Homo-oligomer: A and B are copies of this chain.
Amino acid sequence: MGYYHYERLSALDATFLELEDDNVHMHVAAVALFETGPLANPDGTLAFDRIRARVESALDRSPRFRQKLAWVPVIGDPVWIDDARFNLSYHLRHAALPRPGDTRILKREAGRILSQKLDRNKPLWEMWIIEGVEDDRFAIVAKAHHCMVDGIAGFDLFTSMLRLDPDPTIEPVPHWIPRPAPSPAQLLADELRRRAALPLSLLRRAPDLVRHPLDVVEETRETVTALRETIASGLEPTMPTPLNPEIGPYRRFDWTHTEIAAIDDIRSKLGGTLNDVVLATAAGAIGRFLRRRGVRTSDGLFRAQIPVSTRAHSEKGRPGNRVAMLMAELPIDESDPVERLRRVTDTTTRLKRSHQREGVEFLEKLGDVAAASIWHFFAKLATRMRSFNVVITNVPGPAHPAYLLGARMEGIHPLVPLAFNQALGIALFRYDGTLFWGLNADWDALPDVHDLVGFIDEEFEALLKAANETRGDPPAELEAGEIDPPPPLLTSGPSRDSGTGDPEQREDPETEDTEEASGQAGSDRS
């Protein structure tokens, strides 16, 4: 038979492949801005070759990025195999902006790149190095499939290119030798052998689980309650809005940023977590945006899906997604910013106590065979059933400046993929004292997404102003001690496949000094 190597995808990772189609693209991404600084060549061009060398060196620590998908014959399960024909020039791309290279032009270029679905015949990532950004900057658009990274914080090829010091050293690159891939017959034989070794009860139950999930899954009283709550929140339909048409393949990508010091001001006066402030701001902006489109925002339920890491600490070194989806109602009809934040805080506090999250975790613990079927079933159902209106996800990053070969990263705007009937996804990344927003929008459905970005800025300012007009004592139920730790509810999982993603080694920006991060002021919106 000979030596060969491959790895099975987890059930959840495989779900991200299953959910993808010609319009629904399941890549996560980020647009990062850098000061060119030491990466400028003497003639003013960007030292692309040095960046390429750094990527090659990072590849050595991230084997997944030289692997591609293969499929077990008959059964159809996906596995990872080394791509013997890996060609870095396909994945790492050099591009430029038309002059003057302002933020409006960069956003348009990013939107074009992020509109393109990743090719399943190759390792599932692209990285675009874009020169010609105004004020002597360059940008990196990093894209990877959700089946291999949790989110931008888990995009370890990208994160391991960066350093917390400006040291420009490039490590020597060892020669890469792909491990032989199994033949289709070997894959099938292995999978049949693996299934034969599974407990019979689990195998037998798998098809029934899909047909009658509630009848069969009666393990304990608590899990059933949890599961019912999960399913219920997944099925009760939300209000129809212009944010929920059937989407096309094209995207607009827009962004802004908020200083974490200002968020802390609000929290010290009004209470709530950083994420409550984000949700309250987004709810205010979305409400205004929808009312301008003629939507009666008080008619019905507006719900945000909030990805939550469910990874246990003992698993932190293991590759794979461990993300569950919570559902939170947003008070988009509330025009008073203080009252809106109070309502958001109530909702998230209640959700933390609810069984929703345990239900999702239980589904995942059922084991790969059963869970894959159930996950596909629920994921498709939740997507098709208008169970939520928008995704809002929040990822912590380093609290100190990061550098690529000595070039300082100014900011990084993350992208969350859109589902079948979601024209808007909001992702946030905390870095160096600033909260960076990334708005992923369907190109045709939201030509006016830049107005939404403006409303976010305005609603945040209104909340800050209202907070500063309030007496300084935080509400009794929110003690200072509860505010400081990063709220587990809204943080995404650590990165995978390498030693760089240990969450305990990552500093929590909320406990850090929150000085101004960069020279940028206000919104970058076009």
- Residues of A at under 8 Å CB distance from B? 43-46, 48, 85, 87, 90, 93-100, 105, 109, 112, 116, 119, 121, 131-132, 248-250, 443-444, 447
Contact = CB atoms under 8 A, between A and B. Distances in A.
Contacts of A43: 99
B248 A99 contact: no
Interface centre among A43, A46, A119, A447 (most CB of B within 10 A): A119
B99 A45 contact: yes
20 contacts: A43-B99, A44-B99, A45-B99, A45-B100, A46-B98, A48-B98, A85-B444, A87-B447, A93-B112, A95-B98, A96-B96, A96-B97, A96-B98, A96-B132, A98-B131, A98-B132, A116-B116, A119-B249, A119-B250, A121-B248
Given A44-B99, A90-B250, 19 more contacts: A43-B99, A45-B98, A45-B99, A48-B98, A85-B444, A87-B447, A90-B443, A93-B112, A94-B98, A95-B98, A95-B109, A96-B98, A96-B99, A96-B132, A116-B116, A119-B248, A119-B249, A119-B250, A121-B248
A447 B85 CA distance: 12
The 4 residue pairs across chains A and B that have the minimum distance between CB atoms: A96-B98, A45-B99, A96-B96, A94-B98
Interface centre among A45, A95, A100, A112 (most CB of B within 10 A): A95
A302 to B, nearest CB: 26
A384 B70 CA distance: 25
A225 B97 CA distance: 58
Nearest to A96: B98
Contacts of A112: 93
Most buried by B among A85, A100, A444: A444
A323 to B, nearest CB: 29
Given A85-B444, A90-B443, A99 B250 contact: no
A486 to B, nearest CB: 39
Nearest to A119: B249
A248 B109 CA distance: 24
A6 to B, nearest CB: 21
Contacts of A443: 90
B131 A99 contact: yes
Contacts of A90: 250, 443
A22 to B, nearest CB: 8
Nearest to A99: B45
A45 B87 CA distance: 35
A501 B425 CA distance: 47
Contacts of A248: 119, 121
A159 to B, nearest CB: 25
Contacts of A109: 95
A112 B250 CA distance: 16
A97 B48 CA distance: 14
Nearest to A46: B98
A449 to B, nearest CB: 14
Contacts of A44: 99
Contacts of A87: 447
Contacts of A97: 96
A426 to B, nearest CB: 24
Contacts of A96: 96-99, 132
A249 to B, nearest CB: 7
A130 to B, nearest CB: 8
A83 to B, nearest CB: 11
Contacts of A105: 94
Contacts of A250: 90, 119
A316 to B, nearest CB: 37
Contacts of A131: 98-99
A488 B61 CA distance: 60
Nearest to A105: B94
Contacts of A100: 45
Nearest to A132: B96
A105 to B, nearest CB: 8
Nearest to A115: B116
Nearest to A48: B98
A131 B96 CA distance: 10
A166 to B, nearest CB: 24
Contacts of A93: 112
Contacts of A444: 85
Contacts of A119: 248-250
Nearest to A100: B45
A109 B109 CA distance: 13
